[in-house]
Amino acid sequence: MFSTLRMSHLCFVACLLATASGLALPVQAQEQVYFSSTAEPRLPACDSPAVQSAVAGRVASADALYYGGRTITVIDRIAETAYKANGISPLARRFCTGIATLSDGSRHTVHYALVQHGGFVGLSWGVDACLNGLDRWYVHDASCRTVRP
């Protein structure tokens, strides 16, 4: 009994140390942390290079069959479509749209939503993106509805 209890404590301490060491890693350049001293939540702008990189990364990380292996090469004509804060959800959301040029040369509308505290362990913002017309499994509903306001 004593050894089992001692082993469980050692495992618990090892898990705590592993978690603490993972949190101590520096934040990458594309994953900026936004904190606000006021009650106003902060999110980067839709056309921020970090946001564009995150959107392209989100599409690139999808299953190869989902977008047919295509990736985003550039996003232009970027516009904010809505900003929601202090509504039903306490987290701020910024909704954006743009025209994405894909690796095969085709152009599609890309809709994306930035969510406050939606990044790793809630320390930074997160992004969810959808290429209109290519959501073959309707993950984001028809016409990317779940990432639009």
SS3 80: strand
Residue 90 has which token pair?
């306490």
pLDDT, residue 40, reads 52
Does 38 fall in a domain?
no
- pLDDT, average across residues 116-143: 87
Residue 138 has pLDDT above 90, yes or no: no
Between 89 and 34, residue with greater pLDDT: 89
Does 53 fall in a domain?
yes
Residue 103 has pLDDT above 90, yes or no: yes
CB 102 within 8 A of CB 71: yes
Does 77 fall in a domain?
yes
Does 136 fall in a domain?
yes
Beta strands in the chain (DSSP E): 72-84, 93-102, 107-115, 126-131
Strands 107-115, 93-102: pairing kind: antiparallel
Per-residue model confidence as pLDDT tens digits over 40-99:
557 999 999 999 999 999 999 988 888 888 999 999 999 999 999 888 888 899 999 999
pLDDT, residue 21, reads 42
Cα–Cα distance measured from residue 78 to residue 96, given in angstroms and rounded to the nearest whole number: 7
Domain count, the chain: 1
- pLDDT, average across residues 34-39: 46
Does 22 fall in a domain?
no
Does 36 fall in a domain?
no
Q: Could you list the residue range(s) of the whole structural domain that residue 55 is in?
A: 44-147
Cβ count near 98 (within 10 Å) = 21
Provide the pLDDT confidence category of residue 131 given band limits of 50, 70 and 90.
very high
**pTM score, two decimals?**
0.71
